[in-house]
Structure 1
């Protein structure tokens, strides 16, 4: 795999405006235009039914109603004694009311006897209120008697009682379509008796690294060889975006082999991501192979790193394919800018792009005119709650250690050529360190 993406810094100077040409070279496509093309192409995935825990983090694809009231019966909110409020009207600390205890009501009891006037029953939290009782006096307001109990205060009707249907009445909407299934929502679905739900599934993302120079991780790279870090990085990034990701290994610079592998992966892929082979070198087989079958458009985007981009669809199902540059930083930036929003759209998310924050630049920053630059940075939270940011590493898109030390991308727009220390810049957090 040859990757000739020009990610080195260039002198600030006039660049062709979008839509213009210079020296016969095609104009650079704006980032926003390329992203719009991607998102316009991305469709939807049919909902599937999953078990509750498998559905965690996904969007509900149906409305769920309570088939029965929640709670399903009046029950005790505290450990104490089931009583009639009228029997305790005269109770005080100095002159408690003493009632006979005629039984125990345990949580989970399927049947019980009732109680008459002037009597009470010991009751556990969650146990059904026995017939004849209308309140629960907590243990701490009594002497905790077994055969007889002294109660030191009056009580209101309904006190410490969870009423039938007070959480949800029968037939009420429990969760609407599009709800995100977090732990609380999973609990509610279980409470209303749904062990399986219809959800928008996780996209299946297949990740392929190309290049005859690549070797599998675990094997020591020899002279001229490079460990395949991209497939691990992109698979992890896809999972972080919410997808199920699969690595299919390394494809050497072999046109026919690449097409065979792509064809074999179409049955299980909702998205395919390749890295490498998209520039202008003689061994850039991804661009060569896919350009010939006319399914993928290769273009130069006005961004740095990650200028060479390929995107299109494959097969009868029109599976989206992203052909990203091979340099690690360029591949990750390209994923963040184009592939991650596509995955989020397939998940049904309303917000497909990461939220950005404004931060104070702690150092001088430069960017080429006419290109949107994404610099690796370290985002800090200041004592006053505001953000500041410093750069990590140089411009080179091969700097993996610098990439690993960063937690954000500093976004310098196309019309920005220089940022002075103390100026405000746009930052896209990737991972805020938790200490």
Structure 2
């Protein structure tokens, strides 16, 4: 099946699961806004001095000298300026006069209460104009935006103590395999990797433990998981052998949609279904295929369920450092070095994806020259 068709099936069953209020001083980073945030007043609300210096009126009386009339500190206000008047101003001083200009300390000579200015300053020079950050009523952070560390201070500037965010989607994770169900119950390498991807994309990972290679046992855990989770993920049991029965377990649940395998090498054993109106993703067990399946299938589903409108990756344009032959459509992980993309050597069970900055989905054929690198949010 084409990757694009698989995503359409999964995303059609995915939607945000309600919202809640979260305090700005709480765990807000990584949450997705369920409301657009707009300022009630211009930001900044007045012209604001960007550095220390002398406020003067930007008119045609310069160069010349001005009489120092007063001083203005951070948060204090200068309403208007007269010709040849100067006000000692510090960074953060507020100004109402649209013709005000700030001449930096290092450009003037001060003597006996007067300041000498050797050039004509421009209106609002070295001053942050009123409303240059945002205008009252304009959307600053839109609904569907995932909050970053830099956004938190901005939200506080808007005067908000609480904001409405979408509830984190609960992602139930089931590790499949008789070889691990007794040896490492509840914790496998594949589980740890995907769990942190879920968290990085705004989801809440719920460990449902390990289950043996039995269609009835797997189906039972999937059914239990569906009761409380928004998304269910199985890890393992998607290969071609008689012991790989995760797909059969999903099929026995009477899904409304189901697919087996996608047209992307190193993730081709990923499967998916819609069961009881919820997405079920079946990822391979080995680390590299599991990571690839989580990147191209699970990540978009989590972010859509979290309410995000921004997508699970950003695009960076780069040039491949060497030619690659792709016998079929596949994923190539790359390191970014300035404007170059250096392919990472494939490593089915090893650490190679951890050394990459992004990936390509290309092929079949020769790949050379300019490429679009997908940089996942979880890297």
Q: Indicate the structure (1 or 2) with the bigger Cα radius of gyration.
A: 1
| Residue-by-residue CA offset, 1:283-306 (whole Å, 9 max, x unaligned) | 556445443332376643354444
Residue in structure 2 matched with residue 334 of structure 1 by the alignment: 293
Which aligned pairs between 1:401-420 and structure 2 lie closer than 5 A?
401=351, 404=354, 411=361, 413=363, 416=364, 419=365
Residue in structure 2 matched with residue 150 of structure 1 by the alignment: 115
Residue in structure 1 matched with residue 350 of structure 2 by the alignment: 400
**Whole-Å separation in 2 of the counterparts to 1:201 and 1:324:** 25
Determine if contact 2:261/2:271 at 8 Å carries over to the other structure: no
Q: 2:209 aligns with which of 246, 249, 260?
A: 249
Determine if contact 1:205/1:270 at 8 Å carries over to the other structure: yes
**Whole-Å separation in 2 of the counterparts to 1:380 and 1:116:** 59
**Whole-Å separation in 1 of the counterparts to 2:357 and 2:63:** 63
Residue in structure 2 matched with residue 34 of structure 1 by the alignment: 6
1:273 and 2:233 matched: yes
1:209 and 2:175 matched: yes
Secondary structure (helix, strand or coil) at the match of 1:207 reads strand
The structural deviation recorded for 1:40 is 2.7
Structure 1 length normalisation: TM-score?
Answer: 0.65
**Whole-Å separation in 2 of the counterparts to 1:114 and 1:155:** 18
Query: Bigger shift: 230-239 or 286-295?
Result: 286-295
Secondary structure (helix, strand or coil) at the match of 1:213 reads helix
Residue in structure 1 matched with residue 330 of structure 2 by the alignment: 374
Secondary structure (helix, strand or coil) at the match of 2:195 reads helix
Q: How many residues align?
A: 372
Determine if contact 2:174/2:210 at 8 Å carries over to the other structure: yes
Determine if contact 2:58/2:120 at 8 Å carries over to the other structure: yes
Determine if contact 1:379/1:429 at 8 Å carries over to the other structure: no
| Residue-by-residue CA offset, 1:90-125 (whole Å, 9 max, x unaligned) | 653xxxx363x555332245x899998876543322
| Residue-by-residue CA offset, 1:228-257 (whole Å, 9 max, x unaligned) | 211112223334545343434323446676
| Residue-by-residue CA offset, 1:341-374 (whole Å, 9 max, x unaligned) | 3223334335567759774764666x4xxxx553
Structure 2 length normalisation: TM-score?
Answer: 0.72
Residue in structure 1 matched with residue 284 of structure 2 by the alignment: 325
Secondary structure (helix, strand or coil) at the match of 1:72 reads coil
Secondary structure (helix, strand or coil) at the match of 1:71 reads coil
The structural deviation recorded for 1:265 is 4.0
**Whole-Å separation in 2 of the counterparts to 1:163 and 1:428:** 38
Secondary structure (helix, strand or coil) at the match of 1:104 reads strand
The structural deviation recorded for 1:322 is 0.9
Residue in structure 2 matched with residue 231 of structure 1 by the alignment: 191
**Whole-Å separation in 2 of the counterparts to 1:323 and 1:32:** 17
**Whole-Å separation in 2 of the counterparts to 1:152 and 1:79:** 15
1:69 and 2:42 matched: yes
Residue in structure 2 matched with residue 126 of structure 1 by the alignment: 92
Q: 1:344 aligns with which of 303, 313, 322?
A: 303
Structure 1 pair 140–281 and aligned structure 2 pair: CA distance change class (3 A): closer
**Whole-Å separation in 2 of the counterparts to 1:65 and 1:387:** 39
Structure 1 pair 338–144 and aligned structure 2 pair: CA distance change class (3 A): same
**Whole-Å separation in 1 of the counterparts to 2:279 and 2:117:** 72
**Unaligned regions of 5+ residues in structure 1, if any?**
1-28
Structure 1 pair 107–292 and aligned structure 2 pair: CA distance change class (3 A): same
Residue in structure 1 matched with residue 51 of structure 2 by the alignment: 78
Determine if contact 2:335/2:358 at 8 Å carries over to the other structure: no
**Whole-Å separation in 1 of the counterparts to 2:319 and 2:47:** 52
Structure 1 pair 47–427 and aligned structure 2 pair: CA distance change class (3 A): same
Structure 1 pair 354–84 and aligned structure 2 pair: CA distance change class (3 A): closer
Aligned-CA RMSD value? 4.7
The structural deviation recorded for 1:210 is 1.8
Secondary structure (helix, strand or coil) at the match of 1:230 reads helix
**Whole-Å separation in 1 of the counterparts to 2:369 and 2:78:** 69
**Whole-Å separation in 1 of the counterparts to 2:30 and 2:249:** 37
Structure 1 pair 138–271 and aligned structure 2 pair: CA distance change class (3 A): same
Determine if contact 1:271/1:319 at 8 Å carries over to the other structure: yes
| Residue-by-residue CA offset, 1:47-98 (whole Å, 9 max, x unaligned) | 4433447444555443333212322334434323445667x93653xxxx36
